Chains A and B, each alone.
Chain A
Amino acid sequence: MPEATSAESDIALRTGGRARRPNSVGLRRLNILVGALSLPLFIGLWELVSRSGTVNMVLFPPPTVVAAAVLEWIRSGQFFSDLLASLFRVTTGFIVGGALGILLGILTGQFPVISSLLSPLFHILRPIPPIAFVPIVILWFGLSEAGKLFLVVWGVFFTVWLSTHIGVQKVDRGLIRAALMLGTPRRQMLQEIVLLGALPYIVVGLRTAVSISFYTLVAAELAGAFAGIVYRIEIAQQNLQTGQVMGGLAALGLISFIADRLFAALAERIVWWR
């Protein structure tokens, strides 16, 4: 591209051939280096402290012991069945709760009558922490999978409902007027303008719901399960396998981190015009 090169040389000429802030490159390299050292430093320190004899190694095992426990977990084949069980609960709950939330959010956002009917109820139910429903869920569903899905769906639903409801209400009236003037029929306004106008809000709600679905997963599996990451953590705790407990926590952190990043990348594609 000849244009770009001439512009570059122009800038180089005006700045006398120097980058304007010579320090900025060095600073960025330093930051990358420090960032890369962060985890190894932390793990090394942990190993030292655990083996120093100042703490109880059974309760505070070093990373090497945790790693061994995780390897054993994977080798026994339990890791993958646990992972699958947890992922199934989170994804199904997220999809069902998200779909219900979007659907009802559109209805209450768009139709004042439906909003008057449902919003007061939802506003009372929404602040109750999903964990508080564990006892009644056990009464209703026992230890079945349905009860666990119920908890995750419950947690996801309210967040997605509220953000969709607000998103629909906040759609720029000017866009609706412009669309009306261009001959958009009112019955097509939802699909042409309202849904897309609310989409950025819906996506933010869904992203919050990703972490909420992991919180509620914890409650769901602690309530009694036969497989799952959190279930494994609880069993290990009962057997005083602290390494396994910590490995489970690390796995949970890693999975929800990956889920959040995946969703963030997806969100960028959903709201394509940003």
Chain B
Amino acid sequence: MKLALASSPASDESARKQPAIQVSNLSIVFDTKGGQVIAVDRVSFDVAPGEFVCIAGPSGCGKSTVLNTIAGLEVPFEGEILVEGAPVYSPRPDVGMVFQQPHLFPWKSVRRNIAHGPRMLGKSTTEAYAIADDLIAMVGLKRFADAYPNTLSGGMQQRVAIARALANQPRVLLMDEPFGALDAQTRTVMQDNLLALRDRIKATIVFVTHDIDEAIVLADRVLIMSAGPGRILREVAVKLPRPRSSSVLVEPAYHSLKKDCLDVIRAEGLRAFNQSDAN
């Protein structure tokens, strides 16, 4: 298996600085009824501080598993993960996570959901609420500060989930298909919101998606994964100018990038097909 070594816009910087995330030789195996399943097979990649990396790939290729392991929710079978130079054993507050489902605490108002993290880290209620109110303004939900999650739309709930993850000022923000459950229109708005937000926070972001368009709109670099077992096929640097918005989808540079990505995916699909044919 060949690991992609293409240079990225942040690579000059990362030569000087220690990477925010180092994944080396990561394998993850699940015990199932049908025996052991290799979900992720010797995956390695680095993410530079402040970089926005998207992991794209088909359903079941292990994207969530990789992300959960960086988060400390899953234990590596083999290999190592360093965040800010320190190995990850369990969830840590400087790594934030947004899941595909918002997973908001239904018994807490928007403000108290967002204040939960700071409260857990020992901040007073007043401090925590002040942090929450800033973030509520940032995600444009001032009118809903006292609303309960079940009264919000899916897009609004996901904005609360993002604000909640940012409340602990994480150095690394992990996002697992956060817009996957939203309709196309809302998704575009959310992508633009995230791009704007990203310019204000200084977190390193790893964003999982199976949508190549979404990956190109958002990322500095796209890692394309393949299924069975999950591996990284190729990485594609996205050298589109920033500040960016979802309108890059109509630019010529975008089309050639998308073609690169699709070529990789098509070649892999063909290879997998021929292989299964031979068996």
Mutual binders A and B: yes
B101 within 8 A of A: yes
Of B17-25, B90-98, B211-219, B225-233, the one contacting chain A is B90-98
B130 within 8 A of A: no
- Residues from chain A with Cβ under 8 Å of B93 in the complex: 182-183
A249 within 8 A of B: no
B273 within 8 A of A: no
In the docked arrangement, what's the CA distance between A184 and B104, Å?
A: 14
B69 within 8 A of A: no
For A181, give its contact among B95, B105, B106, B107 (CB under 8 Å): B95
Q: With A196-B107, A272-B107 as known contacts, state yes or no: A180 contacts B168, CB within 8 Å.
A: no
Task: Closest A residue to B167 by CB, please name it.
Answer: A182
B137 within 8 A of A: no
Do A273 and B150 touch across chains, with their CB atoms under 8 A apart? yes
List residues of B (165-208) whose CB comes within 8 Å of A's CBs.
Answer: 165, 167-168
Do B71 and A181 touch across chains, with their CB atoms under 8 A apart? yes
Q: With A273-B106, A273-B107 as known contacts, state yes or no: A182 contacts B101, CB within 8 Å.
A: no
- Residues from chain B with Cβ under 8 Å of A272 in the complex: 107
B239 within 8 A of A: no
A138 within 8 A of B: no
For A182, give its contact among B73, B90, B106, B168 (CB under 8 Å): B168
List residues of A (166-215) whose CB comes within 8 Å of B's CBs.
Answer: 172, 174-175, 177-185, 188, 192-193, 196, 199
Do A185 and B99 touch across chains, with their CB atoms under 8 A apart? no
In the docked arrangement, what's the CA distance between A175 and B108, Å?
A: 12
B57 within 8 A of A: no
Classify the interface of chain A: helix, strand, loop or mixed: helix
Do B168 and A178 touch across chains, with their CB atoms under 8 A apart? no
B233 to chain A, nearest CB (A): 28
B96 to chain A, nearest CB (A): 7
Of B3-11, B26-34, B113-121, B243-251, the one contacting chain A is B113-121
For B103, give its contact among A174, A273, A274 (CB under 8 Å): A174
- Residues from chain B with Cβ under 8 Å of A174 in the complex: 99, 101, 103
A192 to chain B, nearest CB (A): 8
Interface residues as binary, A89-112 with B (CB distance below 8 Å gives 1, 0 otherwise): 000000000000000000000000
- Residues from chain B with Cβ under 8 Å of A172 in the complex: 103
Do A179 and B71 touch across chains, with their CB atoms under 8 A apart? no
In the docked arrangement, what's the CA distance between A180 and B97, Å?
A: 10
Interface residues as binary, A1-42 with B (CB distance below 8 Å gives 1, 0 otherwise): 000000000000000000000000000000000000000000
Task: Closest B residue to A173 by CB, please name it.
Answer: B103
- Residues from chain B with Cβ under 8 Å of A273 in the complex: 106-108, 148, 150
- Residues from chain B with Cβ under 8 Å of A182 in the complex: 93, 96, 116-117, 120, 164-165, 167-168
- Residues from chain A with Cβ under 8 Å of B108 in the complex: 273
A224 to chain B, nearest CB (A): 46
In the docked arrangement, what's the CA distance between A196 and B71, Å?
A: 25
Task: Closest A residue to B97 by CB, please name it.
Answer: A181
Do A178 and B91 touch across chains, with their CB atoms under 8 A apart? no
Which bracket fits the contact residues of A?
20 to 34
Do B101 and A184 touch across chains, with their CB atoms under 8 A apart? no
For B96, give its contact among A179, A181, A196 (CB under 8 Å): A181
In the docked arrangement, what's the CA distance between A183 and B106, Å?
A: 18
A24 to chain B, nearest CB (A): 26
For B120, give its contact among A177, A185, A199, A274 (CB under 8 Å): A185
Do B117 and A183 touch across chains, with their CB atoms under 8 A apart? yes
Do B73 and A180 touch across chains, with their CB atoms under 8 A apart? yes
Do B99 and A177 touch across chains, with their CB atoms under 8 A apart? yes
- Residues from chain A with Cβ under 8 Å of B116 in the complex: 179, 182, 184, 192
In the docked arrangement, what's the CA distance between A220 and B97, Å?
A: 55
In the docked arrangement, what's the CA distance between A188 and B117, Å?
A: 13
In the docked arrangement, what's the CA distance between A196 and B90, Å?
A: 24
For B91, give its contact among A175, A180, A193, A196 (CB under 8 Å): A180
List residues of B (24-75) whose CB comes within 8 Å of A's CBs.
Answer: 71, 73
- Residues from chain B with Cβ under 8 Å of A180 in the complex: 73, 90-91
Q: Which of A172, A182, A185, A272 has the most CB of B within 10 A?
A: A182
In the docked arrangement, what's the CA distance between A272 and B165, Å?
A: 25
B102 to chain A, nearest CB (A): 9
Beyond the given A181-B165, A182-B116, A182-B168, could you list 10 further A-B residue pairs with CB under 8 A, ordered by the A residue number? A178-B97, A178-B103, A178-B104, A179-B105, A181-B71, A182-B165, A182-B167, A183-B92, A183-B121, A188-B120
A residues whose Cβ falls under 8 Å from a Cβ of B: 172, 174-175, 177-185, 188, 192-193, 196, 199, 272-274
B residues whose Cβ falls under 8 Å from a Cβ of A: 71, 73, 90-93, 95-97, 99, 101, 103-108, 116-117, 120-121, 148, 150, 161, 164-165, 167-168
Name 17 interchain pairs, CB-CB below 8 A, sorted by A. Answer: A174-B99, A177-B103, A178-B99, A178-B103, A178-B104, A178-B105, A178-B161, A180-B90, A181-B95, A181-B96, A181-B97, A182-B96, A182-B116, A182-B164, A182-B167, A184-B120, A199-B107
